[in-house]
Structure formats: structure tokens, C-alpha cells
Homo-oligomer: A and B are copies of this chain.
Amino acid sequence: MESRELLLETMSELMWERGYADTSPRAVRERSGVGQGSMYHHFPTKRDLALAALERNIADLLPAASELDGSGDPMARIEAYLMRPRDVLKGCKVGRMTQDPQVREDPVLLAPVARAFAQVHVSWVKALRDAIAAGELRDDVDPERLAHTLMAVIQGGYVLAIAQQDPGPFDAARAGALDLLRAAAPLASSAPKNKSKKRK
């Protein structure tokens, strides 16, 4: 019970740091201190271990996104989620997987990633709809679309930051996104709250 947990914990870290393809069973053994026999007892293949570790990494991340579902002021929720502190230069535990050829090509490994993003998308859409209902966002923007845009800003921000080895581009990207959201407030500059406009 101890070894299993240690292996999972270690594999989750390594998948975040190095992805799947570039993480060897040996690396997991060495970092975790768990022996060969135990390892293959608990997880018959590297892929089994990776799948379990991936699920854990996703479970780590999803609670943050449910911040978007909250009940406070919608734009405040959106801003809080966007501006949440992140380990920028490490990148996204989940998004990273999409660039690993061995994950991309394995439907079983890719599926949890797809599900995770789909779930976060739902949360974004809810927050954006709430913002429109609260009169904080023009009612002619498409929440589904915009949700993808904002998720992309986060995922792409990591890419830019890692390229420069500097969190700056990530911070600029999300700040710019917020600027645009504010520019898309209904009354040109500052949004009047508590007005529930509901017309096309």
C-alpha cells in the first residue's frame, strides 16, 4: 500500500516534469526508491502506471477550475481563475500530454486529457454565461467560443513562457486577455452590475 502510493506520486511528478515518453521505469524506481519487483507487481506495464498517474494529475487540477462555477460575482471569478498563481515554467500537467507522441497516439492515454479539458470548458462556459447575465459582458459574444479562447490563452501562455524561460509572456498573455474582456463590457468602459439584460 506504501509502495503503490509512492510509485503513483513519483510517476505523477515525472510525467509533469518530463512527460510520458521520456520517463523511464528506471527513473521512477530510482526516484521513488521502490524496487523492480514491487513496481511490476503493482503496475504490470509502464503504461498502466502512467494512466493512473495521469488521472491523479488531472484530479489535482480540476478543483481549481471549479472556482469558475462558484457563486460570487462572475467577472471576479473569471479574473481570479485567470490570475491564479501557476507554476508557469513547468507548464500544464495535463496540456503537456498532448505534445507527447506516445500519448497522442494512444487513445486510452489521450481520453482522460480530452475529458479534463471538456470539463474545464463547461466551467468556463458557465462563468461566461453568468457574466453576460450579470451585464458584465456583452450579450453578443459566444460563451462557448470565448471559453475556448481563454483556455487557449492559458495553455499557449505556458508555451511562450517556456520558450523564453521567463514567466513574463504568460503574465502578459493573461493580462491582455483580461483587458479584452473588460473592453467587451456592455457599456463601453465600466460594467453596471445587477442588471439582468436578456435580449439578443
Return the chain B residue nearest A168 by Cβ. Answer: B148
Given contacts A141-B179, A153-B149, A155-B159, contact A164 B114 (CB under 8 A): yes
Within 8 A of B (CB), among A174-199: 174-177, 179-181, 183-184, 188
The smallest C-beta distance from A65 to any residue of chain B, in angstroms, reads 14
Within 8 A of B (CB), among A1-41: 17-19, 21-22
Query: How many angstroms between the C-alpha atoms of A110 and B181 in the bound complex?
Result: 33
List the B side residues contacting A22 at CB < 8 Å.
21-22, 100-102
Query: How many angstroms between the C-alpha atoms of A149 and B102 in the bound complex?
Result: 29
The smallest C-beta distance from A87 to any residue of chain B, in angstroms, reads 14
Contact with B along A89-108 (1 / 0, CB 8 A): 00100011111111010000
Given contacts A163-B114, A183-B183, A184-B180, contact A99 B101 (CB under 8 A): no
List the B side residues contacting A104 at CB < 8 Å.
162
Query: How many angstroms between the C-alpha atoms of A151 and B101 in the bound complex?
Result: 23
List the B side residues contacting A163 at CB < 8 Å.
95, 97-98, 110, 113-114, 117
